[in-house]
């Protein structure tokens, strides 16, 4: 199993004006994706992944300098939103080119209905449970490289990593 380190920091925005702020950041295309879908884009020349979590909540994976992102966001904070980084959110990531592209994630974890893990498409995510522990499974590309990402509580990261490693077939 080859885990790769996330090459970004995650920032969350949410609030009544969350969609409008996201539109200002990423353009109208951000309202073309539904909750638990994502897109890859660039912001101020840096790659970023944007995952929509509900109508007005977005998680932004930013590969640039934090200070630059904060500077971009500063004029937008007058809208009815908050901007946060969660120190309790951890991330594990696998390269899909390592053999995980066609893997049926529904075979090891249980999605929260009506989400589906079997056939989970690229740029889609689903809340799920692995042996009772919550994780968000997200297929998307980072810097053009397809990956599957697992987001979880920091306190569960070690246990989930072990569970994933024991549940997943040894492909590599």
Residues forming the site for other proteins (CB under 8 A): 16-17, 19-20, 23, 31-37, 55-56, 80, 113-116, 119-121, 124
Q: Phi/psi at 78 (nearest 5 deg)?
A: -75, -15
Q: Give exposure, 45-76, as e/b (b: 16+ Cβ within 10 Å).
A: eebbbbbbbeebbbbbbbbbeeeebeebbeeb
Cβ nearer to other proteins, comparing 68 with 111: 111
37 alpha-carbon distance from chain centroid: 9
Rounded to whole angstroms, how far apart are CA atoms 147 and 97?
Answer: 8
Q: What minimum distance in Å lies between the beta carbon of 19 and other proteins? A: 7
Cβ nearer to other proteins, comparing 9 with 23: 23
100 and 148 Cβ atoms separated by less than 8 Å: yes
Cβ nearer to other proteins, comparing 50 with 56: 56
Cβ nearer to other proteins, comparing 33 with 153: 33
Cβ nearer to other proteins, comparing 37 with 163: 37
Q: What minimum distance in Å lies between the beta carbon of 32 and other proteins? A: 6
Interstrand relation of 46-54 and 57-62 (parallel, antiparallel or unpaired): antiparallel
Q: What minimum distance in Å lies between the beta carbon of 66 and other proteins? A: 27
CA angle 139, 141, 147 (to 5 degrees): 55
Q: What minimum distance in Å lies between the beta carbon of 169 and other proteins? A: 24
Q: What minimum distance in Å lies between the beta carbon of 106 and other proteins? A: 11
Q: How many CB atoms lie within 10 A of CB 112?
A: 12
């Amino acid at each position: 199993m080859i885990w790769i380190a996330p090459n970004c920091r995650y920032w969350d925005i949410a609030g009544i004006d969350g969609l409008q702020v996201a539109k200002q950041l990423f353009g109208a295309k951000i309202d073309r994706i539904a909750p638990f879908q994502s897109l890859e884009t660039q912001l101020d020349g840096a790659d970023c992944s944007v995952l929509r979590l509900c109508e007005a909540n977005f998680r932004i994976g930013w590969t640039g300098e934090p200070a630059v992102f904060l500077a971009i966001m500063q004029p937008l904070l007058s809208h009815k939103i908050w901007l946060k980084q969660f120190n309790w959110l951890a991330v594990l990531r696998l390269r899909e080119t390592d053999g995980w592209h066609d893997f049926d994630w529904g075979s090891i974890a249980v999605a929260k209905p009506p989400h589906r893990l079997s056939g989970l498409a690229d740029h889609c995510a689903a809340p799920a449970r692995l042996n009772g522990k919550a994780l968000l499974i997200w297929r998307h590309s980072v810097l053009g490289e397809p990956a599957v990402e697992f987001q979880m509580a920091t306190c569960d990261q070690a246990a989930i990593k072990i569970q994933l490693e024991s549940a997943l077939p040894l492909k590599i």
